[in-house]
């Protein structure tokens, strides 16, 4: 198997893992409080990630003062993203939520251009604006289908964008696995403290298995997403992130009897097409600069 094909497989595995995690968590909606679910999942994920970091020697690396600042903002953004994303996920169709998240390949370069001064051409800017029109079709503000949780979904996108921009500023010497452990631990602590205000629900075997499944899937998503950045060409691999939408459509239909309406599907198609074009243009610019 070539590096590109291996990277494509890892990207698809990452998207599948994240979507299965979302499905397990959504199945618990209305049965177990959000803070309790995320706390237990966070503890399990942190233990697994810490063990892997210890085995690979990631804990032996010293983090510079500069990187600690970016890790702080990345972690704070991740906590916000988890809170707003899962609140929206509990009240929105899985495919709709996943489709909105597909705008990240558009929001991240836009934020990098605004806050980091990274160049962005008019073609990519046009693709970003068209992609945002697709998001508007999915969310549909001002209509009966719009709710506070639609706004939560958009805030989650903003939080993930801040997370990724902060990650871009990290030095290459700081191991990704170590950053993942710190983030996972912080999420567990935050939601653990928040769970004190909730009445904990005793878990039966089915609930426990779903939380265990969610923790295993989130670990798989983290690890595959790190591994995918180390093989193959990004221009070939990146479009395979959109397979997550296929998983969301399938799992939403299978477990929740959900299927997006025509306007939502059109919006999702616009977002995906715009994202793929933006990735293509970014690759062409990098190739041109490299000549």
Give the tens place of pLDDT for each residue, 188-231. 999 999 999 889 999 999 999 999 999 999 888 877 876 776 66
39 within some domain? yes
Mean pLDDT over residues 125-129, rounded?
A: 88
Q: How many CB atoms lie within 10 A of CB 246?
A: 15
Tell me the three-class secondary structure of 189-206, residue by residue.
Answer: HHHHHHHHHCCCCCCCHH
148 within some domain? no
- pLDDT top residue among 285 and 27: 27
241 within some domain? yes
- What is the domain range of residue 213? 1-61+175-247
212 within some domain? yes
69 within some domain? no
CA proximity to 265, closest of 241, 246, 278: 246
121 within some domain? no
30 within some domain? yes
pLDDT at 285: 67
User: Quick check: helix, strand or coil at residue 232?
Assistant: coil
191 close to 33: Cβ distance less than 8 angstroms: no
Q: Which residues 6+ apart lie within 8 Å of 161 measured at CB?
A: 104, 107, 108, 111
Number of structural domains (the chain) is 1
104 within some domain? no
Label residue 77 exposed, middle or buried (CB < 10 Å: 0-12, 13-18, 19+): buried
Give the tens place of pLDDT for each residue, 163-183. 888 887 888 888 888 988 999
pLDDT at 172: 80
* Distance (Å, whole) CA 104 – CA 171: 22
- In the chain, the percentage of residues whose pLDDT exceeds 70 is 93
Alpha helices in 92-121 (DSSP H): 94-101, 104-115
């Amino acid at each position: 198997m070539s590096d590109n094909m291996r990277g494509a497989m890892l990207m698809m595995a990452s998207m599948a893992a994240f979507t299965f995690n979302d499905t397990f968590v959504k199945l618990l909606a209305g049965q177990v409080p959000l803070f309790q679910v995320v706390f237990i999942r966070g503890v399990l994920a942190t233990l697994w990630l810490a063990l892997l970091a210890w085995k690979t020697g990631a804990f032996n690396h010293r983090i510079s003062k500069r990187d600690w600042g970016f890790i702080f903002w990345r972690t704070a953004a991740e906590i916000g993203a988890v809170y707003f994303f899962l609140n929206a996920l509990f009240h929105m169709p899985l495919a709709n939520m996943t489709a909105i998240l597909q705008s990240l390949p558009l929001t991240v370069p836009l934020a990098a251009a605004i806050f980091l001064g990274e160049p962005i051409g008019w073609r990519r800017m046009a693709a970003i604006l068209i992609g945002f029109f697709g998001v508007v079709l999915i969310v549909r503000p001002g209509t009966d289908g719009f709710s506070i949780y639609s706004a939560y979904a958009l805030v989650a996108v903003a939080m993930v964008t801040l997370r990724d921009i902060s990650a871009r500023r990290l030095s290459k010497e700081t191991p990704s696995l170590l950053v993942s452990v710190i983030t996972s631990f912080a999420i567990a602590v935050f939601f653990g403290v928040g769970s004190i205000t909730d009445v904990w629900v005793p878990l039966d075997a089915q609930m426990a298995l779903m939380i265990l499944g969610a923790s295993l899937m989130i670990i798989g998503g983290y690890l595959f997403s790190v591994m995918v950045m180390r093989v193959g060409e990004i221009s070939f691999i990146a479009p395979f992130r959109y397979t997550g939408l296929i998983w969301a459509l399938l799992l939403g239909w299978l477990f929740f009897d959900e299927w997006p309406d025509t306007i939502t599907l059109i919006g999702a198609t616009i977002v995906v097409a715009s994202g793929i074009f933006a990735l293509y243009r970014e690759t062409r610019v990098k190739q041109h600069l490299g000549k």
